[in-house]
A = this chain, B = another copy of it.
Amino acid sequence: MTRRPTPAPHTPATLYLSAPEAARLIAAKGLPACLEGIADCIAADFRRWGDFDKVPRVPSYSPGGAIELMPIADDATYTFKYVNGHPGNTRQGLPTVMAFGVLADVATGTPRFLSELTLTTALRTAAMSAVAARALARPGSRVMALIGNGAQSEFQALAFQHLVGIRELRLFDTDPQATAKLQANLAGSGLALTRCTSAAEAARGADIITTITADKARAKVLCADMVGRGTHINAVGGDCPGKTELEAAVLALARVFVEYTPQTRVEGEIQQMPADFPVTELWEVLAGRAAGRHSADEITVFDSVGFALEDFSALRFMHAAAVALGMGTPIDLIPVLDDPRDLFALLRPKAAQWPAAARPMHTSRAAQAEPA
């Protein structure tokens, strides 16, 4: 225990940010600042779309839901997210969506940052929605319908308040308790809240309509006759095959914007439409290569399914924030080797051969369990 070997030249330490620490980080910086920071990262990364090695996410479907991996890389940084979607989880006290992710160096493959992403995904999804709305909604939009008042609804509400300028929310959920929870969480936010008894009532007079429901089914949460001229629709809940929220007629009326076409054709609202249904990728609008909204009368839809690049942006924001605040814990996910060609050295029977830097996480529980 007293010998401290010289650390290897490059120690592959991974910084770990747990769910409670991520919450403390966000509380420390303030949620609006985090939403703004993640939105800035997303906008900057989407503008350099061509720099990224992109693939549709890799799903594993089961009767109860889906587990997905979402990798992406530029020349310097690789990230991936693990995320599930199990609508029945809440009945067992578990979140519908749970996630974590890793940021790694492309040059060596070293995983640098392992982070919870359950909470962070809610922030990045809301930040992405706000980035799209800033580009697509009518300037001066002040009223938003929020249809679906579940786990992500507060984040959407606050992102649209702080990043888009929304002042009034019209709330609807098939579960009145969900709306009550949202109202309680937004008390003191400064947002005017109107509780509605139907999606149609919520949509009435809204500049922006956000749909973020969790049912894994073909639903018609929003029909064409509920959507006024000039509305921007932020369609967030439909995000896997068989799960949609909009009546097809809404899409037929609108100009539709997507994150990454190959993925959205399979997972998004446009899975209801022909394979050649015209869409515009949002990055083109952000980069000035395509027009956003054409007129104040046009209906725009952001058919959001969530793309790996948003998690890349969120992970680099959270990593930088954790480093700046001194948060997170170094873990020894990767072994430290004196000679990297001598992996077997890890098994040679020498006590205390581990560099001290490699074991900050060895708790007393682990030490007790250590075999003789």
Contacts and interface: CB of A to CB of B under 8 A. Distances in A.
A48 interface: no
Interface in A67-82: 67, 69, 71, 73, 75, 78, 80, 82
A31 B346 CA distance: 11
A58 B60 contact: no
A335 B95 contact: yes
Interface in A4-55: 8-10, 12, 16, 18-21, 23-24, 26-28, 31, 53, 55
Interface in A105-155: 106-111, 116, 118-119, 122, 150-152, 154-155
A31 B93 CA distance: 40
Contact of A78 (B24, B67, B100, B365): B67
Given A95-B335, A151-B340, A328 B12 contact: no
A185 B100 contact: no
Given A181-B341, A360-B363, A62 B27 contact: no
A341 B19 contact: no
Interface residues of A, number: 100
A178 interface: yes
A104 interface: yes
Given A23-B335, A118-B334, A342-B185, A69 B67 contact: no
Nearest to A34: B347
Number of copies: 2
Given A18-B332, A82-B80, A94 B340 contact: yes
A185 B347 CA distance: 10
A27 B96 contact: no
Contacts of A340: 89-90, 93-96, 151
A274 to B, nearest CB: 27
Contacts of A108: 64-65, 84, 86, 89, 92, 94
Contacts of A92: 9-10, 108
A8 B348 CA distance: 42
Nearest to A109: B84
A229 interface: no
A22 to B, nearest CB: 8
A339 B119 CA distance: 14
A261 interface: no
Interface of A: 8-10, 12, 16, 18-21, 23-24, 26-28, 31, 53, 55, 58, 60-62, 64-67, 69, 71, 73, 75, 78, 80, 82, 84-86, 89-90, 92-96, 98, 100, 102, 104, 106-111, 116, 118-119, 122, 150-152, 154-155, 178, 181, 185, 325-329, 331-337, 339-349, 354, 358-363, 365-366, 368-371
